């Protein structure tokens, strides 16, 4: 999986997983910004590199192939 679009989607999935882990514990929420800074920057850079910034439909199709939403995620959306 070296396709730049896939790399961007993987970076987003890592950001999503990190955000969920940090925000799952209300006591950890105040620490979220520093913990999310690196995965956010990684995802932003990867999106810009492949021209997916601002092209959400294509991007989220890639994300869905890597990380399909489960029933709980669909309800939260």
CA distance 29 to 69: 23
CA distance 46 to 29: 25
Predicted confidence (pLDDT) per residue in 21-41, tens digit: 777 887 777 777 787 788 888
Structure pTM?
0.57
Q: What is the pLDDT of residue 15?
A: 81
CA distance 22 to 29: 6
Residue whose structure tokens are 């399909």: 68
46 close to 11: Cβ distance less than 8 angstroms: yes
pLDDT band at 59 (very low <50, low <70, confident <90, very high): confident
Predicted confidence (pLDDT) per residue in 37-46, tens digit: 888 888 888 8
Q: What percent of the chain has pLDDT over 70?
A: 81
């Amino acid at each position: 999986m070296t396709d730049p679009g896939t790399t961007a989607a993987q970076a987003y999935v890592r950001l999503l997983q990190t955000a969920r882990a940090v925000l799952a514990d209300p006591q950890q929420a105040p620490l979220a910004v520093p913990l999310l800074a690196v995965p956010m920057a990684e995802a932003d850079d990867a999106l810009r590199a492949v021209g997916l910034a601002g092209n959400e439909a294509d991007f989220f199709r890639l994300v869905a192939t890597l990380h399909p939403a489960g029933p709980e995620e669909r309800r939260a959306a």
